[in-house]
Amino acid sequence: MTPSQKVLDQQRELDDLIEAHINNAPRSLQVEPGPSEIGIPCDLRLGYKLLGHPEVADRPRRLPWKAWIGTNVHRGLEELLTLANMSRPSWSENGVDRYQLEQRVTVGQVDGTDISGNSDLYLDGVVWDWKIPGGTTLREYKRNGPGPQYEVQAHEYGLGWELRGYPVTDVAIYFLPRDQEWPQRFLWSAPYNRDLALERLARVDGIAKLTRALGPAALPLLKRRASWCQSCPWRLPGSQDVTRGCPGDPDALEQAASELSDLIA
Ligand code: SF4
């Protein structure tokens, strides 16, 4: 049955409210990378970020609906675990939270600037991070693990908690399905690796110092490595000048070209 005009009018009203709310959510304008970006394997992408280089990717501006779902799953988990804290018998006596939620941690400095972020959960030596991927990405994580960016991010948060004076034994990423059922969830975990966290921080610190010293002239010196190029804000297909935009990962391009020539041959 076709909806009545009244229902269609109400749909428009509701859509306007929902879209305005999601589109007006505060966005980060910070130039320095957060702990989630320290592990980006592409030095050039980090260089653009550190320089505050204008985004060049010509992507259709979509309502960030999936990101909004992820944000609200985080909020729901925080609410659930806050109630779990308060319902523990010892909480009314000592007020100590078993589940430490959304705490701000500083993982170190990049070119003199603190790198801080909110950690989803600290629980008795284990630093947890929630991820809410769609089905295809979730299958990819199950096959190949979380990838370098998320893995480093997990250890950076571990470092942040350690610097706050908390013992850290393990890091864990809990992938909770955005569009599948609960049994499809996937847990990745590793012993906390302080050296990895410090090494990546030092790498980004080096890139930051280089970009501060040379400005955009530093960009051609930075190594490119595929890192979700399709969603990279600085991807400019065919670009010959990385100070304008990046054509993509050279190895990936080479591989695609050789696969194409295999097909043609
Ligand atoms: S398009 Fe890919 S290779 Fe180029 S800067 Fe972005 S992530 Fe790096």
What digits encode the pLDDT tens for the residues 144-187?
999 999 999 999 999 999 999 999 999 999 999 999 999 999 99
Q: Does 122 fall in a domain?
A: yes
153 belongs to a structural domain: yes
Residue 70 resides in a domain: no
CA atoms within 13 Å, Cβ hemisphere of 100: 16
Tell me, in angstroms, the distance from the centre of ligand 1 to residue 223's CA: 9
Task: Please compute the mean of the pLDDT values over residues 132-143 and round it to a whole number.
Answer: 96
Please name every residue paired with 115 in a beta bridge, in sequence order, or none if there are none: 108
Residue of 37, 40, 45 to mutate, ligand 1, most atoms within 8 A of C-beta: 45
pLDDT (tens digit, 9 = 90+) per residue, 28-86?
556 678 898 999 999 999 999 999 999 887 766 789 999 999 999 999 999 999 999 99
Q: Quick one: DSSP state of residue 112?
A: T
pTM of the entire predicted model:
0.88
Amino acid identity for residue 55 in this structure: E
Kindly state whether residue 80 falls inside one of the protein's structural domains.
no
Task: Read off the pLDDT band of 123 (50, 70, 90).
Answer: very high
Number of domains in the chain: 1
How far, in Å, from the CA of 257 to the mean position of ligand 1? Answer: 17
CA-nearest residue for atom 5, ligand 1, is: 45
- Residues 182-194 have a mean pLDDT of 98
Return the ligand 1 atom nearest residue 249 CA.
3
Tokens of 12: 């428009």
Looking at residue 125, which CATH number applies to its domain?
3.90.320
Please check whether residue 26 lies inside any domain of the structure: no
Q: Is 86 domain-assigned?
A: no
Query: In this structure, is residue 151 part of a structural domain?
Result: yes
Tokens of 123: 């629980």
Nearest alpha-carbon partner for 134 in 67, 77, 188, 72: 67
pLDDT at position 227: 76
Task: Flag whether pLDDT at 141 surpasses 50.
Answer: yes
Residue 250 scores a pLDDT above 90: no
Domain of residue 107 covers: 35-58+101-264
The answer to whether position 19 is within a domain reads no
- Side chain identity at residue 148, one-letter code: P
Residue 264 has pLDDT above 60, yes or no: no
